[in-house]
């Protein structure tokens, strides 16, 4: 099923802020009751848009980030309740199998654009996994419930924003630091790539914010490598496909929406950004180098989204000792 068929067949109903799915709620309560394991990662909020990831593993190792994407939780129909429950079970298996320190959801978490009957039970379900997480907003995440209200729901999420001339932008920076380091070993940027045409891309206000971050780094003599998290792929994902210089699965047309290459130029020209991790296209999971930056699709995670690929995630490892990163598909 292509994207347009999924959108047409998904019921347009409307958001009960209550946790509408009893199945997801019971799963969350069960997981929350499990004994907690000590975490190697602690998160400190420095500013509304800036977090510090204090990484203190028992033995030196890379930080493990589980990228999940396109879960499409919350539809009101019974069949979607069942699919959502399957997705939560998969998330539990992914966490158990790969032991991530941090979860990065690259968008279309909950179908907030579908009206007032959408359930937000998945927020508690994701919290209950016992792993801190963040979220790069997708086009379906923005809609009925205002973002300021939505951002108050999670208990374990680090969700950032900045204000620009009265307009609140949803973006965040995460600096990975270790016990003996005065400066970050990696910076992770989470961007919102927009809601509706003509703004379904990383826009000029967020790119201006990114430029300000780089300027601040130069003043502080910070030059660590960076990775970025977005929902809608950049136009350069299509360039990569057209050049046939990728590995992985190409299963549907690259839906880069209104992106025109401006964001990629800013990312490439900064000289520090190593990789961009995207979602949005459920039938693609390929990756490859474009202009010195690796472009990487996540693997679709949610059973309530379209597509036939086996559901999973992508495990990203950032090594603070070497400044290198790796990634691979992850399954439960």
pLDDT at 22: 58
Contact 305, 69 (CB under 8 A): no
Q: What is the average pLDDT across 54-64? A: 96
Least confident of 35-44, 47-56, 155-164, 276-285: 35-44
> In the predicted model, what is the mean pLDDT of the chain?
90
Query: Quick check: 170 pLDDT over 50?
Result: yes
Q: What is the average pLDDT across 80-93? A: 97
Quote the domain boundaries for residue 237: 3-330
Query: Quick check: 302 pLDDT over 70?
Result: yes
Q: Which of 306, 307, 205, 201 is nearest to 261 (CA)?
A: 201
**Into how many domains does the chain fold?**
1
Q: Where are the alpha helices (DSSP H) in the chain?
A: 3-9, 22-33, 78-98, 121-127, 147-150, 204-220, 235-242, 262-269
The pLDDT tens digits of the residues spanning 200-230 come to 999 999 999 999 999 999 999 999 999 999 9
CATH number of the domain that residue 310 is part of: 3.60.21.10
| pTM (two decimals) | 0.90
What one-character-per-residue DSSP string does 142-205 give?
SSSS-HHHHTTS-SSB----EEETTEEE--EEEEEEETT-SS-SEEEEE----SSTT--S--HH
Query: Quick check: 35 pLDDT over 80?
Result: no
Q: How confident is the model at residue 322 (pLDDT cuts 50, 70, 90)?
A: very high
């Amino acid at each position: 099923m292509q994207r347009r068929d999924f959108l047409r067949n998904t019921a347009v109903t409307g958001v009960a802020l209550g946790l509408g799915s009893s199945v997801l709620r019971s799963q969350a309560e069960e997981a929350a009751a499990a004994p907690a394991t000590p975490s190697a990662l602690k998160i400190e909020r420095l500013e509304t848009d800036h977090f510090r990831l204090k990484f203190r593993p028992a033995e030196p190792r890379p930080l493990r980030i589980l990228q999940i994407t396109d879960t499409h939780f919350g539809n009101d129909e019974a069949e979607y309740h069942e699919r959502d429950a399957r997705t939560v079970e998969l998330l539990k298996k992914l966490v158990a199998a790969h032991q991530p320190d941090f979860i990065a959801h690259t968008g279309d978490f909950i179908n907030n654009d579908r009206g007032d009957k959408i359930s937000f039970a998945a927020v508690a379900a994701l919290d209950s996994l016992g792993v801190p997480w963040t979220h790069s907003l997708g086009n379906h995440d923005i809609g009925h419930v205002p973002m300021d209200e939505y951002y108050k729901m999670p208990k374990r999420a680090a969700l950032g924003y900045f204000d620009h001339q009265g307009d609140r932008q949803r973006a965040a920076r995460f600096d990975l630091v270790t016990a003996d380091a005065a400066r970050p070993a990696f910076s992770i940027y989470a961007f919102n790539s927009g809601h509706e045409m003509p703004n379904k891309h990383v826009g000029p206000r967020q790119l201006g914010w990114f430029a300000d971050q780089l300027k601040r780094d130069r003043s502080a003599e910070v030059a660590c490598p960076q990775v970025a998290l977005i929902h809608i792929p950049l136009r350069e994902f299509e360039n990569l496909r057209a050049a046939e210089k990728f590995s992985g699965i190409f299963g549907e047309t690259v839906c880069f929406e209104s992106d025109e290459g401006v964001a990629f130029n800013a990312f490439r020209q900064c000289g520090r950004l190593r990789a961009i991790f995207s979602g949005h296209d459920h039938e693609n999971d390929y990756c490859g180098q474009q202009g010195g930056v690796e472009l990487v699709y996540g693997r679709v995670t949610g059973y309530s989204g379209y597509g036939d690929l086996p559901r999973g995630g992508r495990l990203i490892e950032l090594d603070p000792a070497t400044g290198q990163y790796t990634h691979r598909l992850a399954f439960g």
